[in-house]
Structures are given as C-alpha cells and as structure tokens.
C-alpha cells in the first residue's frame, strides 16, 4: 500500500467527475453487486450542490468513497460508503468517515442519519465506533436485507 489520503469531492474539487466516475462505478459494483447504485444515480449523488462526498486514494488509485446529503434541520444522511475489496480490513474506513464528518460539520450539520447492514456486522461496528454520539437506533427490513437505522450527533472535531 502506498500513501493513503482522503480528498473532499465537490464543485470546487480539483478533480472532475469524468476522471473518477469509471472507478467509482467499478468499486460500487464490486461492493454491492445487484444492490449497486446505477451510474446516473452515482453522478447525481456526487454532484448535487449541497451533497458532500469524500474520496479515498492509495497513491494514484481510487480505493473508496463516501457520500451524504442534507435532510433538513441540521441533519445529513449518509447514503453510500464503500472501500475496494483489495483495501478492506485495514482500518481505512475511519480515515474516510473522519473527513466526511469534518465536511458535514463545515456545512452546518449537527446530526447524521444512516442505515447500515446488520448481516455483515457493519451496523454493530458503526454503533461500537460512535457509542457516545448515538441518539437513536432501530432495525428494519429493506430491499437490501435487514438494516439498522442510526441517528447520531456529528462527532466532535
Ligand atoms: C463497510 C466498509 C466500508 C468498511 O471498511 P473496512 O475496510 O472493511 O473496515 P476497516 O478495516 O476500515 O475498519 C472497521 C473498523 O473501523 C471502525 N470504525 C471507525 N470509524 C468508523 C465509521 N465511521 N464507520 C464504521 N466503522 C468505523 C469500526 O468500528 C470497525 O472496528 P471493529 O469492527 O474492529 O470494531 C467496507 O467493508 C465495504 O466497503 N464493504 C462493502 C460495502 C458496504 O457494506 N458498505 C456499507 C453499507 S451499510
């Protein structure tokens, strides 16, 4: 693994959507298979003006991303998080999410909402990682299988 770094993606970003879209589609398909967002949905999600998105790089290789959208009343909803299989299990999600939280805080967010898959242990991991900031959780079914809805405070900087 080379030098891993995070980069905020947005309208003022140095990188344009055209440069990253193919690799984002590739990671999305690899991570979510038939549950993957379509290329058009990803384009809208990453480029909508008030949405926030963060890219994760290993040297010149894009290896992950996360993206959130405003839901009103100081709340952002995290719609998507993925790290390429080649780079999972190395503790990189923390780095990625930390920048997303920084960017949401800068955009005026005080609360985060998200759904996380229960079956693969991710919902438990998210709750473990954010214990003091969790406000509310409940489990529900979805077209992607059992999910846990999580509402939490934006962690302090
Ligand atoms: C989910 C995913 C992004 C996690 O990345 P990862 O590389 O596997 O996980 P990491 O090795 O970086 O670390 C996981 C640890 O980080 C911790 N963590 C720290 N900050 C976190 C955060 N903001 N969110 C989630 N976990 C966090 C977790 O608690 C977990 O620790 P533990 O299980 O040891 O208690 C990745 O597995 C993936 O892309 N999976 C396929 C797509 C997917 O399921 N996305 C989530 C949809 S709900």
- Give pLDDT, residue 116: 96
Give the N- to C-terminal CA distance of the chain in Å, as an integer: 27
- Ligand 1 centroid to Cα of residue 47, in Å, is 24
Predicted confidence at residue 2, as pLDDT, reads: 82
Cα 145 to ligand 1 centroid, rounded to whole Å: 18
Task: Return the residue whose CA atom lies nearest to atom 41 of ligand 1.
Answer: 31
Atom of ligand 1 nearest to the CA of 98: 23
Distances (CA, A) of 100 to 68, 143, 153, 154: 8, 26, 13, 10
Question: Closest ligand 1 atom, CA of 64?
Answer: 39
Using a CB cutoff of 8 Å and minimum separation of 24, what contacts does 92-99 make? Answer: 92/4, 92/56, 92/63, 92/64, 93/64, 94/129, 95/4, 95/6, 95/56, 96/6, 96/54, 96/56, 96/64, 96/65, 96/66, 97/66, 98/6, 99/6, 99/8, 99/54
β-bridge partners, 113: 77, 151
Pocket test of ligand 1: the residue of 33, 122, 132, 143 to mutate, having most ligand atoms within 8 Å of its CB, is 122
Which domain range does residue 137 map to? 4-153
Q: 67 alpha carbon to ligand 1 midpoint, in Å?
A: 15
pLDDT given for residue 99 in this prediction? 97
- Cβ of 92 less than 6 Å from ligand 1: yes
pLDDT score for 48: 93
- Give pLDDT, residue 11: 67
Number of structural domains in the chain: 1
Task: Return the ligand 1 atom nearest residue 123 CA.
Answer: 48
Q: How far apart are CA 4 and CA 9, in angstroms?
A: 16
Instruction: Judge if the beta carbon of residue 149 lies within 6 A of ligand 1.
Output: no
Element (H, E) at 94: helix 92-106
**pLDDT at 107 (0 to 100):** 95
Neighbours of 2 (CB within 10 A): 9
Cβ(81) – ligand 1 distance below 6 Å = yes
Residue 39 sits in a domain of what CATH number?
A: 3.40.630.30
Q: What is the pLDDT of residue 13?
A: 73
pLDDT along the chain (157 residues), means of 10: 91 82 98 94 94 96 97 97 97 97 96 96 96 97 94 96
Q: What is the pTM of this model?
A: 0.95
pLDDT value at residue 29: 97
């Amino acid at each position: 693994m080379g030098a891993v770094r995070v980069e905020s993606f947005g309208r003022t970003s140095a990188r344009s959507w055209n440069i990253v879209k193919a690799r984002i589609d590739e990671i999305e398909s690899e991570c979510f298979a038939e549950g993957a967002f379509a290329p058009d949905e990803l384009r809208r999600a990453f480029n909508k003006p008030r949405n926030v998105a963060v890219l994760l790089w290993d040297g010149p290789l894009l290896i992950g991303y996360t993206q959130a959208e405003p839901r009103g009343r100081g709340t952002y909803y995290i719609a998507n998080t993925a790290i390429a299989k080649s780079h999972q299990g190395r503790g990189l999600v923390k780095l990625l999410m930390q920048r997303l939280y920084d960017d949401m805080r800068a955009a005026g967010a005080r609360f985060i909402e998200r759904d996380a898959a229960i079956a693969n242990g991710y919902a438990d991991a998210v709750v473990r990682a954010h214990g003091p900031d969790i406000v509310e959780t409940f489990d529900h079914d979805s077209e992607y299988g059992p999910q846990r809805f999580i509402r939490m405070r934006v962690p302090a900087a």
